Amino acid sequence: MSDTADQTPMNTFTPAGHHRHRKVRMTGSAVRRAVVLAMAVPVASAALAGTSAFAADQNTATTVPDAHPDQDGGLAGDEEQLVKNLDTRVLDQRLGADVSGVVLDADSDTSLWGHNATTAMMPASNAKLATSTAALTVMGPDHRFTTKVVYGHGTLTLVGGGDRTFSSDDLAELTKTAVAGLKAAGLTSVKVAVDDSLFAEPSLANGWNEGYYPTEVTPVRALVVDGHSVEDTSVDAGKVFAKQLAAAGITVDGDVTRATAHHRDVPVARHKSAPLRDIVKTMLKTSDNNIAETLLRMTAVEAGRPATFEGGTEVVRHVLGHRYGVSLENFEMHDGSGLSRADRIPAATLAQILELLTDPRNTHTLGSILEGLPVAGEAGATLGPEWGRFDDPNSECAVGKVRAKTGTLTGAVALSGLTQTEDGEWRVFSFIENGSTAAPNDIKDAMDGLAATVNGCYA
């Protein structure tokens, strides 16, 4: 579980009852781009690679101060009660004084409630929603990552392709094929090298500290096996490879080295990962920081940008702002996982991202985000009972009814997701608190209560 550095076991908000929908405020060119996305065609790498595609972001929406919906504007009785309940419950002392929240009715295209909705907040792992959206849009849900073995000049080189889910069993299949090739060529000894040159040298993101390595996140490299939490995952993978070769009767000469495969090297074997859609689901269910950071790098690679924190977040901004019309006001992102204490994402922006999931035109591309969001009470996910979620008398009624991304850092707890009313209408919400001094579990209970309020079961 890696949702946090210290874990324990809108569309633009317009408070007069309506929010400016992305379909209304888009320019003609933006609409054409949306149609392309609606046809489930992944954004081509070349389309994002040009300099012009990364000109300074122009915010496509304006925001207005928070206020309550106009009660004469058509709110139903249950919605009026929802607003009253949220007005009271957002002041819960467990949440502290610095709280942001927003609730959207995606089906009727209305903004039901907001509290400091556009305030810049530290989002913790809710940042993974932005990372997932960009990754799926740029690479497409069917994208697979390739790890391969090549041979040249007496050396087998294991080449990383950004597959954070690559396992020792996967490697064993590569080893089996490589050994068969070596023996067929009459070779019984070989040197072993690793090539992780796909990514730039590992570094710390703005807002990280060295204490994050390797427990909360490992230095981001293009090669890893079994998700090992070590400083150099590439050399570690090479050592596993060497042991497998030795067990198969091949003598490995010397230590594992780092090298860059030559284009003349002979392809020996390759492994393709599960589709990106499945990897995104895994990342969101367990809030895996390492998968998130690897996806940020691979998104940059596919978009033709440098495989760095800066290159990846640049693409995220482009996808959110230019492709989907999501507001980037007060948006600041420095990594893919949300571990950075310098990240700032308003609740309104997170709600906009989640609202994309309710548009049928985005189902093919972004549907795995909805499927990957933890469900209240779901064992094995970050809203499961093992984490003490939705087990409070006020929130247990929402078990099985709320899908949401969790986020927890010291001084920041967030919960952003979706739920459906008894009539099957989608409500989108985002709640973030920064700076509460209450016990983490008490804060989470209060957050879960807000989500249950949005669902309507905690009336």
Q: What is the CATH number of the domain that holds 207?
A: 3.50.80.20
Residues 251 and 379 in one domain: no
Residues 32 and 135 in one domain: yes
Residues 328 and 368 in one domain: yes
Quickly list DSSP for 7-40. Answer: -----S--TTS----HHHH--HHHHHHHHHHHTT
**Pairing outcome for strands 189-195 and 155-159:** parallel
95 located within any domain: yes
15 located within any domain: no
Report whether 190 contacts 204 (CB < 8 A).
no
- The Cα 136–Cα 277 span in angstroms is 7
What spatial distance separates the first Cα and last Cα of the chain, rounded to whole Å? 32
Cis peptide before 123 (omega within 30 of 0): no
**pLDDT string in tens for the chain (459-residue length):** 445 544 434 333 333 233 334 333 332 333 323 322 332 233 333 333 333 233 333 333 333 345 454 444 556 778 999 999 999 999 999 999 999 999 999 988 789 999 999 999 999 999 999 999 999 999 999 999 999 999 999 999 999 999 999 999 999 999 999 999 999 999 999 999 999 999 999 999 999 988 899 999 999 999 999 999 999 999 999 999 999 999 999 999 999 999 999 999 999 999 999 999 999 999 999 999 999 999 999 999 999 999 999 999 999 999 999 999 999 999 999 999 999 999 999 999 999 999 999 999 999 999 999 999 999 999 999 999 999 999 999 999 999 999 999 999 999 999 999 999 888 889 999 999 999 999 999 999 999 999 999 999 998
Residue with tokens 């959110």: 320
Report whether 298 contacts 145 (CB < 8 A).
yes
> What CA–CA distances, in Å, run from 240 to 183, 234, 236, 245, 266?
20, 10, 6, 9, 21
Q: What share of the chain is helix, strand, coil (3-state, %, to 5)?
A: 40, 15, 45
Domain span at residue 298? 22-141+286-455
347 located within any domain: yes
Residues 92 and 118 in one domain: yes
Domain boundary among 217, 249, 273: 273
Candidates 110, 91, 265; CA nearest to 178 is 265
44 located within any domain: yes
Residues 70 and 213 in one domain: no
Residue with tokens 């079961």: 457
Residues 294 and 255 in one domain: no
331 located within any domain: yes
Read off the CATH number of the domain in which 386 is found. Answer: 3.40.710.10
How many domains, the chain?
2
